[in-house]
Copies of this chain bind each other. A is one copy, B any other.
Amino acid sequence: MPPATLNAAVAPFSAAAASRRADTTPLTLSLVEQIAARLSERIVGGDYAPAQRIMEQAVADEFQVSRGPVREALRLLEKDGLVTILARRGALVTQLSIDEVREIFDIRAMLNGLRDRAIAEDTERTRHLPLLEKEVATLTRLARDAEQGDAYVEAVARLNRTLGQMLRNRRLKAILDSLALQTLRYSQLGLSTPQRRKQSVQHWQKLLKAIREGNGVEAERIARQRVNDSRDAAIARLQEAKNKRNQGGKKAA
């Protein structure tokens, strides 16, 4: 049988794997990677709830493949922290505790610092600078309008993608992508108010300036500050939600 192909188009799953094979032209994702990408979308998108069990046969039936590739895809997702595999009990959608979210943000702060410093110190950065300028300008415009919350979040994501493309260190990019995926559900919590967006856009403007001037140390400092701010805002929101849940639970009981 020819290697089955899933109907829908899917985004590349493993940036690390994709970049490492850049020389041998992937073009078509392997079945395992396609399944992993689809499941990944669902988990990040919230179609599967945290702690929900993902059963191999169900996924296999739905995608019309056998359980083998599904098992391998789930193993990939486990390495990315999106599911947790328990022996003889299968895969569960990973549920992060508040502490774990904080831990991931701490790692991201360091590695975003490395990323932005590397970009600022890259002598070829000028090639991408115009695009960067334009995206920060868009950000600035969107931040002024209190109604443009979702658009702002999307613009920040696009800016981060651009920075990822400017980054030479492929392995760093892969790790950052993986960590970003794990906390996607929580990252946006930090940009929920116009006030926070104001502060956010200032960070980006300062980062752009540091990159423009080739000031790596400053770029790193700003990046760390920015991610730490996101972390604190996200944690505060999560803590709020948790307290509310607990109170509600007590009232019900």
Residues of A at the B interface (CB closer than 8 Å) are 14, 16-17, 20-21, 24, 26, 28, 30, 32, 68, 71-72, 75-76, 78-81, 84-87, 94, 100, 103-104, 106-107, 110-111, 113-114, 118, 168-172, 175
Per the bound structure, the CA–CA distance linking A201 and B39 in Å amounts to 48
Are the C-beta atoms of A21 and B84 separated by less than 8 Å?
yes
Q: Tell me whether chain A's interface is mostly helix, strand or loop, or mixed.
A: helix
In the bound complex, residues from chain B placing their C-beta under 8 Å from that of A79 are 14, 16, 76, 79-80
- Taking a contact as CB atoms closer than 8 A, the residue among B17, B75, B107, B168 that contacts A72 in the complex is B75
Q: How far is the CA of A76 from the CA of B75 in the complex (A)?
A: 7
**Closest B residue by C-beta to A182:** B171
How far apart are A168's CB and chain B's nearest CB, in angstroms?
8
Which one of A30, A114, A170 has the highest number of Cβ atoms from chain B below 10 Å of its Cβ?
Answer: A114
Cα separation A100 to B87 with both chains bound (whole Å): 34
Closest chain-B Cβ to A167's Cβ sits at a distance in Å of: 10
When the two chains form their complex, are residues A171 and B103 in contact, meaning their CB atoms are under 8 A apart?
yes
Known: A17-B78, A20-B84, A113-B110. A100 touches B171 (CB 8 A): yes
Check A103–B172 contact: CB distance below 8 A. yes
Whether B104 pairs with A171 at a CB distance below 8 angstroms is yes
The one of B75, B84, B118, B175 that contacts A75, using a Cβ cutoff of 8 Å: B75
In the complex with contacts A16-B81, A17-B85, A68-B68, A107-B75 CB distance below 8 A: no
Q: How far is the CB of A194 from chain B (nearest CB, A)?
A: 32
Q: How far is the CB of A112 from chain B (nearest CB, A)?
A: 10
Given the contacts A84-B21, A87-B30, A170 and B72 also touching, CB distance less than 8 Å = no
B14, B68, B106, B172: the one within 8 Å of A106 (CB): B172
The distance in angstroms between the C-alpha atoms of A121 and B71, with both chains bound, is 41
Q: Contacts A107-B114, A110-B110, A110-B113 known; A32 to B75 CB distance under 8 Å?
A: yes
Give the one of A75, A81, A86 with max B CB within 10 A.
A75
Are A103's CB and B21's CB within 8 A? no
Q: Report 8 cross-chain contacts, Cβ distance below 8 Å, ordered by A residue.
A: A20-B84, A72-B72, A103-B172, A104-B171, A107-B114, A107-B171, A107-B172, A110-B110
In the complex, what distance in Å separates the CA atom of A94 from the CA atom of B19? 13
Contacts of A24 in B (CB 8 A): 86-87
With both chains docked as a complex, state the minimum distance between the C-beta of A216 and any C-beta of chain B, in angstroms. 12
Known A-B contacts A72-B75, A75-B72; A107 and B20 likewise in contact (beta carbons under 8 Å)? no
